[in-house]
Structure 1
Amino acid sequence: MAENRISASLAPADKEAVMQAIATIREKLPFLVDLTPEDRRTMLKMGDKSRAFVSIALQVATQNPNFLPRYFDLEEMRRDLEIYEDLYPVLLSLTQLQELVDDTCITAASEAYAAALAVYSYAKASGDVAGLDAVIDEMGRRFNRRSKKKQPEVPVS
């Protein structure tokens, strides 16, 4: 069997505490927005260069508000940049945590699946364990493939 990279368990109380911590994060960030894929695709994106541009634009607008149209909401621009700056370290921390959780789930699933394949292989090879034929057949259905070739249609007369 392959290298075992994870051997852990999560106590129900710890799982509940983690879920409660996530609920607390959501509660503390009630303004979070849920975008559609179309929204994501069409919105302007702000990277590091754009971040500097936005900061300079805010300074220029703050120091020279006279050239802005009356409907331009400078305070809203300031709030948008502030919430972005406040959330950015949170985003980095959550992204790192998500990657760790994702990698751990992938590793655990891979190891469990590899072990299941070994069990299936051993069970098929042994052949002398009474009463396993139906279970082995059921497990084997996982590997049944449907033909990708389209069967020629027989004309109906």
Structure 2
Amino acid sequence: MANNRISASFSQKDREAVMEAIATIKEKLPFLIDLTANERKYLPKLGDKSQAFVSKALEVATQNPDFLPRSFNVNEMRLDVELFEALYPVLLSLTQLQELVDDTLIATGSEAYTAALLVYNYAKASGDVAGLDTVIDDLGRRFTRKSRKTQPQTSAV
């Protein structure tokens, strides 16, 4: 195979260790929540441009709590800001890791599929070898398409 970008194995022991590490991460973040798609869509988002605004607003609220209603909890706002700031680098690291896993999965899947296509083509070319007919038919089912029903043609009058 001419374009082999990765040649590696992932032992059961290493997989278990990675899964344990992921479980530990989840355990250390017991406050994580699962938003619905609707909640995710409609909640206001704190991005890079808004981060300075939030920090300044927290400072204003901390230094001038008298103009805020009694129901406004400055400490809760501070906790939210601190948690956001603490989680952000974790998110960046996890995102980078996920992209590496995704890219590796895509590359290895592509290499495996390309190799399978070569095996199938070689098997078809060597079809006169005893016992390959059934295997070639089984492999070939991957490429069978359902026939499209022909639409009756309407004539324009």
Matched AA of 2:126: S
Report the counterpart of residue 91 of structure 1 in structure 2: 91
Return the offset for 1:147: 3.2
Give the counterpart letter for 1:3 in structure 2. N
Equivalence for 2:66: 66
Identity of aligned residues (%): 71
1:39-65 CA distance string (max 9 Å, x none)? 111111111110000000000011111
Misfit runs of 4+, over 2 Å: 147-152
**Distance across 2 between alignment mates of 1:147 and 1:37:** 37
Aligned Cα RMSD in Å?
A: 1.2
Bigger RCO (CA 8 Å, 6+ sep):
1
Separation of aligned partners in 1, 2:74 and 2:5: 52
Q: Kindly state the Cα deviation for residue 97 of structure 1 after the two structures are TM-superposed.
A: 0.4
**Other-structure match for 2:27:** 27
Q: After superposition, what is the alpha-carbon deviation per residue over 1:109-132, rounded to whole angstroms, capped at 9, x for unaligned?
A: 000000000000000011121111
Distance in 1 (CA, whole Å) between partners of 2:90 and 2:125 is 52
The 5-angstrom pairing of residues 10-25 of structure 1 reads 10-25=10-25
**Residue in 2 aligned with 1:6?**
6
Q: Residue type of the partner of 2:86? A: D
Q: What CA distance in whole angstroms lies between the structure 1 residues aligned with 2:72 and 2:81?
A: 15
Count how many residue pairs are aligned between Structure 1 and Structure 2: 152
Say if 1:74 and 1:149 are closer, same or farther in 2 by CA, change over 3 A: farther
Task: Summarize the Cα distance change of 1:136–1:82 in structure 2 as closer, same or farther, 3 Å threshold.
Answer: same
- Where do residues 46-65 of structure 1 align in structure 2 (5 Å cutoff)? 46-65=46-65
Task: After superposition, give the CA deviation of every residue in 1:77-129 in whole Å (9 maximum; x if it has no partner).
Answer: 10001000011110000000000011001100000000000000000011121
- State the TM-score, normalized to the length of structure 2: 0.92
Unaligned runs of 5+ in 2: 153-157
Aligned to 1:87, what secondary structure does the other structure show? helix
Match for residue 78 of structure 2?
A: 78
Q: Which runs of 5+ in 1 are unaligned?
A: 153-157
Residues 110 and 88 of structure 1: CA distance in aligned 2, closer, same or farther (over 3 Å):
same
What letter is aligned with 1:17? A
Alpha-carbon distance, 1:2 to partner:
3.8
Report the CA distance shift for 1:52/1:144 in structure 2 as closer, same or farther (over 3 A). same
**Alpha-carbon deviation of 1:150?**
5.3
2:32 counterpart letter in structure 1 = L
Give the aligned residue type for 1:88. Y
